[in-house]
Structure 1
Amino acid sequence: MIRLLIVDDHELMREGLKQLFEKSDDIIVAAEAATGEALLAYLQQDHFDLIMLDVSLPGVNSFELAQIIAANSQYPPILVLSMHDDIQSARRMFKAGAKGYITKNSNPAELIRAVHKVALGGKYIGSEVSEQMFFSQKMMTSENPQIVLTTRELSVLKLLVQGKKVTEIAHQFDLSVKTISAHKINIKQKLSIDNDADLIRYGINNLT
């Protein structure tokens, strides 16, 4: 069971999230907070598997708050829930130590998928933000700006960062698993990346 701590100053938002997660078999809203102070107090008193953090809390710098939480290995990972879908906001929170970033108008299925992914140790970028990250700017490495992925490779990498499996991507594009696996191998070779974890990290941190 994933014990979730929701941090948002809007009561209606918290209630909506609680109603959503009540429909899940393995997610429970163990506590909710409206301020940064209440969040830190809860972390001292109880155990949680994930913090769902609003970036627009009144009277507190959410970037600094995320840094404080991320610096303590005893604290749970942070999934940012934001009204902002711009790349800069997402990158700023990832640099602060957040493990996931998703917008408030994401559909329920994606919210639940993001909670599962981050609570289990992964990283997640919401579809609205990842769309900008992968298609609004040139996709190339800082080490070798001549390396550019094809449109199909970018599409595959985008879905991998969202937590999709090779089989799911193959189904979405109506292609064989072998073809998608080949795209994944080509992406790694072009980017000089050896494993999946580094590939996802690259997608999150180094493509803009």
Structure 2
Amino acid sequence: MKQILIADDHEVVRSGLRAIVESRADWAVSGEASDGRAAVAMIRELKPDIAIIDYSMPVLNGLEVSRQIKLHHPRTEVLILTMHESNEILTESLLAGVRGFLLKSDARHHLIAAIDALLNHRPYFTGVVVEKLLHDYLASKKDKSKVLLSLREQNVVQLIAEGHTNKSVGTVLNLSVKTVEAHRASAMRKLGVSSTAELVRYAIRMKLIGP
């Protein structure tokens, strides 16, 4: 029996995904998580074959969850789900080691095929996603000035945008306050911003948090 974990902060989405997964007699949902930190803890305990991870989750977003999975549980394959068509999200997911990527609008028709592929350790991207990946690659060749934040900088920005202090960000990410301040300053420098409000606007634009 193949074990699959579902992480999404919307219960209705988790229920829909569970119904699709459990339509296969040889698959079982081993756990559900509603935020990124809970997802990491469950994966550590349950060691599922597949983790279906929503990109936009509170506390730790899908990219950080994916990074931690690939670092500590490399045998667990990751399928990122997102409702946003974004070249930046796709690129960052690939950099985090994600080998499966689906738009939520495609999940009903492609989820089973995506899980099948990942269970056989093959990547899965829909045609729309591949087209976006190619477009992003070509655009990056033309625009070397485009700056992407590191995963850790994105985590810090997300938590700050969610209202956390530097101290509480450090607690969540297990970093010192000094390190959090360094990541925050680095992110602000890369983005060319000078205030927390501008960081929040960036986080909303990149779908790290809801508007």
TM-score normalised by structure 2 residue count = 0.60
State whether structure 2 residue 114 is matched by structure 1 residue 114.
yes
Determine if the alignment matches structure 1 residue 56 to structure 2 residue 56.
yes
TM superposition shift of 1:41:
1.7
Q: Which runs of 4+ in 1 moved over 6 A?
A: none
Q: Given the superposition, is the C-alpha separation of residues 127 and 26 from structure 1 closer, same or farther in structure 2, using an over 3 Å criterion?
A: farther
Match of 2:72 in 1: 72
Equivalent residues in 2 for 1:96-175, closer than 5 Å: 96-134=96-134
TM-score, structure 1 as length reference? 0.60
Match of 2:22 in 1: 22
* Equivalent residues of 1:4, 1:48 under 8 A apart: yes
Q: Does the CA contact (< 8 Å) of 1:85 and 1:128 recur in 2? A: no
Q: Separation in 1 of the partners of 2:6 and 2:107?
A: 17
Percent identical:
28
Structure 1 SS opposite 2:118: helix
| Number of matched pairs | 141
1:10 aligns with 2:19: no
| Structure 2, gaps ≥5 residues long | 142-211
Q: CA deviation at 1:23?
A: 1.5
Residue in 1 that maps onto 2:39? 39
What is the root-mean-square deviation of aligned Cα atoms in Å? 2.4
Which residue pairs with 2:166 in the alignment?
none
> Does residue 84 in structure 1 map to residue 84 in structure 2?
yes
Greater percentage in helix:
2
Please report how far the alpha carbon of residue 30 of structure 1 lies from its aligned counterpart in structure 2 after TM superposition: 1.4
**1:11-33 deviation digits (Å, cap 9, x = unpaired):** 00000111112212332211111
Say if 1:37 and 1:110 are closer, same or farther in 2 by CA, change over 3 A.
same
- Where structure 1 has 5 or more consecutive residues not aligned to the other structure, the ranges are 142-208
Show the counterpart of 2:205: none
Q: Is the 8 A contact 1:80 1:102 kept in 2?
A: yes
Q: 1:93 to 1:53 in 2, by over 3 A?
A: same
